[in-house]
A and B are shown apart, each in its own frame.
Chain A
Amino acid sequence: MHIPILTIPRLYAGVIAQGAVKDLALTVVSTIVSFILGTLGAAGRLYGPWLVKTVIYWYVEIIRGLPAILQLFIIYFGFTQWGIDFSPLTAALIWLVAYGTGYGVEIFRSGIMEVPHGQSEAAAALGLSRRTTMLRIILPQAYAAMLPPLTSFVVLQLKNTTLLYLVGYADIMYQARLGTDATEQPGILYLMAALAYLIMSLAIGRLGYRLERRTAAYR
């Protein structure tokens, strides 16, 4: 059966859009969680006791050192050997958060280290507590300093969601592959998938750029 090429977009736009929404939702949720865990991890890595520093150091090394797809397979397939079965969605979330936190720690750590030492000295001299100093003085400046790498990383996480089709999660890539099998027209389908990713990554880029412009007022 041959389907005319121009009817493909009409046939598949809906499911690809659904996949895109799922990818975007996963990216947003995992980014927020890794943002929080990454900040805590960076603070622990910089100011924590020896044991905390060591644990976080090795966590980052492992996340950074193992191929992304292997991490996903360990979570989704590997754990079944010990009777732990994750649904594709659960596995996807665990992996994206674990991966995002590993990289987040490093991004946030470099952001915190960008803030001049004089800032915490001035805060201490005013009697501000360490907590207030961190929340009101150091982190706002650190976040501003790391917006460019952070934006890039969120786009990377969005693209990482393509790997999830390998564990049967019905994202953009999954729908495009399914459509390719059914219609034997990979060109147009992958082009549609590409367009969906591009629209989303451009949106993330714009958002990052706008946040950057807001911090430019004082930097």
Chain B
Amino acid sequence: MSSKVVVSAKHVTKRFGSQVVFEDVTLDVHKKEVVAIIGPSGAGKSTFIRCVNRLHPFDEGTLEVLGHTLTGGGHSPSREILQDIRTRVGMVFQTFNLFPHLSVLNNIILAPMEVKKIHRQQAARQAMELLALVGLEHKAEMFPRRLSGGEQQRVAICRALAMDPEIMLFDEPTSMLDPELVGEVLAAIRRLAQQGMTMLLVTHEMQFAKEVADTVIIMADHGIVEKGPAAKVLDAPATERARVFLRRILKPTEVAAEAAAPARGRF
């Protein structure tokens, strides 16, 4: 992790209509830093990382991404700035979102060819190299629906990496997967972290967050409630809100027993 800041959010607030999704989010992400964002659902984690590549606009504050400054309110960035950000920031979605009518290979080479104007042969060669890294080169000619969820998500990672991004956004990449398929996707992400990719990772995999993340952020109640080195935030959180959340996640059976206890006493 170097000191160069590549994403810098300052007092960013996002609303849907009158409903606040998150407010006053301030955060710096350094080059090669792996930031895991955890927290209860509805806390605005996914929406926040979608603001980074501006799939969502936001309402207040500023967000600097790779030297470009996005501002809140009605200001739309120019088409060139938008494309520059999206070309240099890759994203992997919870629901994979592969293009079902294109083969695995064509899923991966479409953007390099269309956006970066890379020649088909060269794009295909790079795609096959990426597929080989995740052990899927033999699936290149198949349609996505022939692949398991874990395989589809690994292809989605290849598709994002084919643009040679400087930052990767992961939006709950393993939440839709059967438990036995989670490992293969986490392995691909882990390898990426080891290679020094800057990452923002929304996840519910606490153990994984602890292992790969430099920084862990807990978002709850429309904002960041805790931020710091992974081990510190996860093992010794400073705020009560973070402790409550982590206890629910890590020891769900105890929480359930506590919740049931008063009921038993009442009857």
Contact = CB atoms under 8 A, between A and B. Distances in A.
Contacts of A219: 100, 145
B230 interface: no
B122 interface: no
Contacts of A136: 110, 114
A125 interface: yes
B115 A128 contact: yes
Given A121-B93, A141-B100, A128 B111 contact: yes
A140 B145 CA distance: 16
Interface in B93-117: 93, 95, 97-101, 110-111, 114-115
A219 B97 CA distance: 14
B201 interface: no
B160 interface: yes
A89 to B, nearest CB: 38
Interface in A168-219: 215, 217-219
Contact of B101 (A125, A129, A140): A140
Nearest to A215: B101
Contacts of A144: 101
A122 interface: yes
A63 to B, nearest CB: 30
A125 B86 contact: yes
B128 interface: no
A128 B101 contact: no
B143 interface: yes
A126 B101 contact: no
Nearest to A133: B114
B159 interface: yes
Contacts of A124: 55, 86
Query: Chain A binding site: helix, strand, loop or mixed by DSSP?
Result: helix
Contacts of A129: 83, 114-115
B46 to A, nearest CB: 11
Given A118-B97, A121-B55, A121-B97, A126 B160 contact: yes
B208 to A, nearest CB: 22
Contacts of A116: 97
Interface in A112-127: 116, 118-119, 121-127
Interface string A2-20: 0000000000000000000
A67 B115 CA distance: 48
Contacts of B99: 119, 122-123, 137, 141
Contacts of B87: 127
Interface in A12-37: none
B100 A125 contact: no
A132 interface: yes
A219 B100 CA distance: 7
B143 A218 contact: yes
B53 interface: yes
A190 to B, nearest CB: 44
Nearest to B88: A127
Contacts of B100: 141, 218-219
B149 interface: no
A128 B110 contact: yes
A128 B145 CA distance: 23
Nearest to A135: B114
Contact of B97 (A122, A127, A128, A215): A122
Given A118-B93, A121-B55, A127 B115 contact: yes
Interface of B: 53, 55, 83, 86-87, 89-91, 93, 95, 97-101, 110-111, 114-115, 143-145, 159-160, 163, 169
20 contacts: A119-B99, A121-B93, A121-B97, A122-B98, A123-B99, A124-B86, A125-B91, A125-B160, A126-B110, A127-B87, A127-B111, A128-B111, A128-B114, A128-B115, A129-B114, A136-B110, A136-B114, A218-B101, A218-B143, A219-B145
